[in-house]
Amino acid sequence: MAERETHESDYVPYFLHKGKYPGALGWLLATDHKRIGLLYLACIATFFSVAVIIGVIMRINMLPGHVILTAQQYNAAFTLHGIIMVFLVVIPAVPTIFGNFFLPILIGGRDMIFPRLNLFTWYLFVLGAVLALVSVFFGGGAVDTGWTFYVPFSLKTTVNVPLAVFAVFILGMSSILTGINIVTTVHQLRAPGMGFFRMPLSVWGFYATAWVQILATPIIGITMLLVVMERLFGIGVFDPAKGGDPLLYQHLFWIYSHPAVYIMILPAMGVISDIFPVFSRKNIYGYKMIAFSSLAIASVGSLVWGHHMYVSGQSDTAGIIFSLLTFLVAVPSAIKVFNWLATMYKGSIQVEPPFLYALSFIFLFSIGGLTGLFLGALSPNVQLHNTYFVVAHFHYVIFGGMGFGLAAAVHYWFPKMTGKMYNKPLSVVAWLVVFVGFNIFYFPMFILGWEGMPRRYYDYLPQFATLHQVASIGSFIMVAGLVLVAGNLLRGLVAGARAPANPWGGATLEWTLPSPPGQEDFEEIPVITHGPYEFDKKESGA
């Protein structure tokens, strides 16, 4: 496919394009998928920073002898950290930022199929975030239930639970609509010749995720509404004092919240599947296997929620079935890792910054996944449930997996989105600091949990002091690294060198566009004649 050069006559970068509305309105009323992607990016980056700061405050509090919060403030802190990270950052990030920006381009369309609906999801997202924020300051104080809102505690506590869970309901609506938009776009807007098996694997990731968003999110929405009604009108669905069932709440909560883990990780795995071939200059090994394993994870993954409840009082038989299914869903994830490694075999590998993040993704995600086997197994779970082991496990999966996947995506697509290049040596240094800090931060938590340190503890027994101290120090290193990463990217945005159209030599459609793309993406809708990872071999080392 011929590369279009940036000097073409009518080309204007999308962010300079003059639309119907001038200035800020041009952004706030934008229906262009790229602008909406950036609107999401701005919000999510802000929320992420807030949640990281709350996290650091908690880590300072856990330093031996540095108590700076009251117990109530600490409980509110981990609740807010969880709510913000889960509902405002991790679940939406990859689909809304990169799904919006790149999905239409990757399949050769010009926009999402429902552009105004797309903008509406952003407003719902902002509304949900504002409600969550308001709930912190009004009506009884910041929620102290943990992001899981377990009943009956969430029915009894005096803080503003109704508003906070209502915010989650609104965020869920946003997520469902995004899912519908993505599924429909993939079905309707693929360019001529772009069969399902010519789609880049990132598109498969977005697609599988979108189905989970559509099917699972209504359950959390309704559950949250039931909590509101229980609090306001005492309807007695969950409250045992009124004949309700607290375990019913846990089932409903996890029926959504376990699949939510896949909403978090699948799109990141998709992006990783795009990055491996590019930097190995080789077709992905086992395209169909990876695509189908995404679907397998999305479907079997919706049947394993009870692994959060082995010791909750659910029936032992249920626990046994959930454990078996949990182990089966581990297999497609393992397959993906093997496929990525096989893609490197006999490749021509360039370890550029995005690939560095992709490789560390595999390392961290593997640790996260393997420790998931401890928790999926019945008897070890009885020991490790609700301890720091779990905290470490999901931070390895979500931050190490999804987070590093997101960072890989940022470093991969940054030149395309901005038309600029960040400083590569500095980005390697920043990566190293984050990576080292991350492991010093979270690895000790596995040991803490194994030794019996429960999670959500404001205070701890003296024997846990040393490892808590190590973890806190690690967190400071990691955050310093995050600041470096952000600083380097911002510097690149303002003062970076101009990026060429195809800096990494990728073969997917976004690299056929100028960096940054123009308003219409494609002047002419391309006709697809080959798969997404068929590189020009001689061009190796671009």
Partner 1 sequence: MATSTGVVDGALIYILAMSVLLLFLIVFFMIYFAVRYRASRNPVPSELPESPLIEAIWVIVPTLLVTTMFIYGLTGFRFLRSAPANSLVVKVYARQWSWLFEYDNGKKSADLIVPLGKNVRCELISADVIHGFYVPAFRIQQDAVPGLATYAWFNATTMGSYYILCSQYCGRRHSAMIAKLIVVPPDQFEAWRQGKKIEFTGASYANMPAGERLLYERGCVSCHSLEDNKMMGPPFKGLFGSQVVVTTAGVQRTVVADSAYIHKSIVDPGADIVSGFPNTMPPSKDVVSEDEIGRIISYLKGLK
Choice between 9 and 379, CB closer to partner 1: 379
Binder to Cu ion among 33, 258, 282, 420 (CB under 5 A)? 258
Burial of 42 by CB count in 10 Å (0-12 exposed, 13-18 middle, 19+ buried)?
Answer: exposed
Give least dist CB 304 to Cu ion, A: 6
Q: Is residue 421 close enough to count as binding partner 1 by CB under 8 A?
A: no
Q: Given the rule CB under 5 A, which of 176-184, 215-223, 257-265, 527-535 is the region that contacts Cu ion? A: 257-265
Q: At what angle do helices 246-280 and 353-376 cross, to 10 degrees?
A: 150
Binder to partner 1 among 81, 190, 251, 281 (CB under 8 A)? 281
How far, in Å, are 116, 202, 282 from residue 539 at the CA level? Answer: 41, 24, 12
Binder to partner 1 among 46, 188, 383, 466 (CB under 8 A)? 383
The rounded distance, in Å, linking the Cα atoms of 277 and 283 is 6
Binder to partner 1 among 15, 27, 374, 476 (CB under 8 A)? 374
Choice between 9 and 317, CB closer to partner 1: 317
Q: Of partner 1, Cu ion, none, which one does residue 150 interact with (CB within 5 to 8 Å by kind)?
A: partner 1
Q: Of Cu ion, partner 1, none, which one does residue 452 interact with (CB within 5 to 8 Å by kind)?
A: partner 1
Q: Is residue 381 close enough to count as binding partner 1 by CB under 8 A?
A: yes
Residue 200: cis peptide before it, omega within 30 degrees of 0:
no
Residue 321 phi/psi, 5° resolution?
Answer: -65, -45
Q: Given the rule CB under 8 A, which of 23-31, 373-381, 410-418, 510-518 is the region that contacts partner 1? A: 373-381
Choice between 29 and 331, CB closer to partner 1: 331
Residue 90 DSSP class: I
Q: Of Cu ion, partner 1, none, which one does residue 385 interact with (CB within 5 to 8 Å by kind)?
A: partner 1
Choice between 11 and 292, CB closer to partner 1: 292
Where in 142-161 is the site for partner 1 (CB under 8 A)? 144-146, 150, 152-153, 156-158
DSSP 494-523: HHPEEPPS-TT---SGGGGS-SS-BTTS-S
Q: Is residue 461 close enough to count as binding partner 1 by CB under 8 A?
A: yes
Residue 13 bridge partners (DSSP): 518
Torsion angle defined by CA atoms of residues 501, 206, 330 and 342, in that order, rounded to the nearest 10 degrees: -30
The rounded distance, in Å, linking the Cα atoms of 106 and 99 is 10
Q: Given the rule CB under 8 A, which of 43-51, 109-117, 190-198, 372-380 is the region that contacts partner 1? A: 372-380
Greatest Cα-to-Cα distance within the chain, rounded to the nearest angstrom:
73
Q: Is residue 68 close enough to count as binding partner 1 by CB under 8 A?
A: no
Q: Which two tokens stand for residue 241?
A: 């004092």
Q: Of Cu ion, partner 1, none, which one does residue 301 interact with (CB within 5 to 8 Å by kind)?
A: none
Torsion angle defined by CA atoms of residues 287, 290, 292 and 293, in that order, rounded to the nearest 10 degrees: 170
Under a CB-based contact definition with an 8 Å cutoff, are residues 408 and 402 in contact?
no
The rounded distance, in Å, linking the Cα atoms of 496 and 488 is 9
Q: Is residue 411 close enough to count as binding Cu ion by CB under 5 A?
A: no
Q: Of Cu ion, partner 1, none, which one does residue 258 interact with (CB within 5 to 8 Å by kind)?
A: Cu ion
Q: Is residue 27 close enough to count as binding partner 1 by CB under 8 A?
A: no
Q: Is residue 63 close enough to count as binding partner 1 by CB under 8 A?
A: no
Q: Of Cu ion, partner 1, none, which one does residue 9 interact with (CB within 5 to 8 Å by kind)?
A: none
Torsion angle defined by CA atoms of residues 366, 372, 376 and 381, in that order, rounded to the nearest 10 degrees: 140
Residue type (1 letter), 109: G
End-to-end CA distance of the chain: 16
**Contact string (CB under 8 A) for partner 1, positions 239-258, x = contact:** -xx---xxx-----------
CA nearest neighbour of 267 among 167, 169, 413: 413
Where in 327-366 is the site for partner 1 (CB under 8 A)? 327-328, 330-331, 334-335, 337-338, 341-342, 344-351, 359, 362-363, 366
Give the footprint of Cu ion on this chain (CB under 5 A).
258
